[in-house]
């Protein structure tokens, strides 16, 4: 029996959704940082098995958004509900039952799509704390299954995949066997750069940055890809911080991005970065569309 279907990974910001997707896939597709709201778009991962093909959608964290960018991110996550065969609701073991978890569970009430509760970060708590937490969640919603895992360490992922296979319907292969994502190479390159900006900078800068790949040219004869990309920020002061003293910050962002791209694309990378100020772009719906949101 061959099974296939679409599984949405949802949850509040920073619960480990992208780490879970990468753990399931066995390689990095979604960028991950310790800062909330790193994921802005739906990220697709395609897991090919002998007896099934699972298509996962990693979504932005669901929260009570105030800015146009935040509202776009939440809409991208909530819109996933209607298209799925299965939903994985990810929560944190070490944080307990959070108000935002209750907010998400309420939005799932009355739906016909099966929901599996995945309790992440079980490596951070004592086992005796797990059962009371499971009971608390059981009282909130009729989850199809409740599965404790550690996405970072890989604990419980085999049980989770077996459970997904049991729930998904029989179906065809939607994608070729050698395909692990439907995202473009340009998108993946831009996400790698944005991840490095997020990891290397602080305060508002990670949330005020949008990366656009202006040029992506493959030189097969030289086993090389030439990439020109622009890092957009909202203020002149942010531009100065991103450049750094004598260009040191921009250089470090470039080096770390290039090394990760070479690992991912398995070719040499020539990367050139530019910085541009687009005043208050996170509040401008026209610019949000221009940047791919």
pLDDT in tens, 188-240: 999 999 999 999 999 889 999 999 999 999 998 899 999 999 999 999 999 99
Contact criterion met (CB below 8 Å) for 249 and 241: yes
Residues of the chain with CATH 3.30.300.20: 185-290
Residues of the chain with CATH 3.40.50.300: 3-167
pLDDT at 63: 77
Instruction: For residue 144, give Cα distances in angstroms to 90, 115, 134.
Output: 14, 6, 13
Cα gap 46→54, rounded to integer Å: 6
Whole-prediction pTM value? 0.88
pLDDT at 64: 75
Domain 185-290 top-level CATH class: alpha beta
- Helical segments of the chain, H only: 17-25, 68-78, 80-83, 99-108, 130-138, 157-167, 185-200, 236-243, 248-265, 285-290
What's the CATH superfamily of 3-167?
Answer: P-loop containing nucleotide triphosphate hydrolases (3.40.50.300)
Interacting residues of 17 by C-beta distance below 8 A, sequence separation 6+ = 9, 10, 11, 30, 39, 58, 59, 61, 90
pLDDT in tens, 154-174: 999 999 999 999 999 999 999
pLDDT band for position 260 (cuts 50, 70, 90)? very high
Tell which residue, 204, 200, 213, has the closest CA to residue 243.
Answer: 200
Contact criterion met (CB below 8 Å) for 115 and 108: yes
pLDDT in tens, 80-111: 777 799 999 999 999 888 888 998 998 888 88
């Amino acid at each position: 029996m061959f099974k296939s279907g679409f599984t949405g990974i949802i949850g509040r910001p920073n619960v480990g959704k992208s780490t879970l997707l990468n753990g399931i896939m066995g390689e990095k597709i979604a960028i991950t940082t310790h800062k909330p709201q790193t994921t802005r778009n739906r990220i697709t991962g395609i897991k090919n098995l002998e007896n099934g093909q699972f298509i996962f959608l990693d979504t932005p964290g669901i929260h009570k958004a105030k800015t146009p960018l935040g509202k776009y991110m939440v809409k991208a996550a909530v819109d996933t509900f209607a298209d799925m065969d299965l939903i994985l609701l990810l929560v944190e073991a070490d944080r307990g039952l959070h108000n935002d978890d209750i907010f998400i569970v309420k939005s799932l009430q009355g739906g016909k799509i099966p929901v599996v509760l995945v309790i992440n970060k079980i490596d951070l708590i004592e086992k005796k704390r797990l059962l009371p937490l499971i009971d608390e969640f059981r009282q909130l919603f009729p989850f199809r299954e409740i599965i404790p895992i550690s996405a970072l360490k890989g604990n419980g992922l085999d049980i989770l995949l077996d459970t997904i296979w049991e729930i998904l319907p029989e179906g065809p292969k939607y994608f070729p066997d050698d395909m692990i994502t439907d995202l473009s190479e340009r998108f993946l390159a831009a996400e790698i750069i944005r991840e490095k900006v997020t990891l290397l900078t602080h305060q508002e800068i990670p949330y005020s940055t949008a990366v656009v790949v202006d040029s992506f040219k493959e030189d097969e004869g030289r086993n090389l890809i030439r990439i020109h990309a622009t890092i957009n920020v909202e203020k002149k002061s942010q531009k100065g911080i991103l450049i750094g003293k004598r260009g040191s910050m921009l250089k470090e962002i470039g080096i770390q991005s290039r090394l990760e791209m070479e690992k991912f694309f398995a070719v040499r990378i020539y990367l050139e970065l530019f910085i541009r100020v687009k005043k208050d772009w996170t509040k401008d719906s026209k610019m949000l569309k221009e940047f791919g949101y």
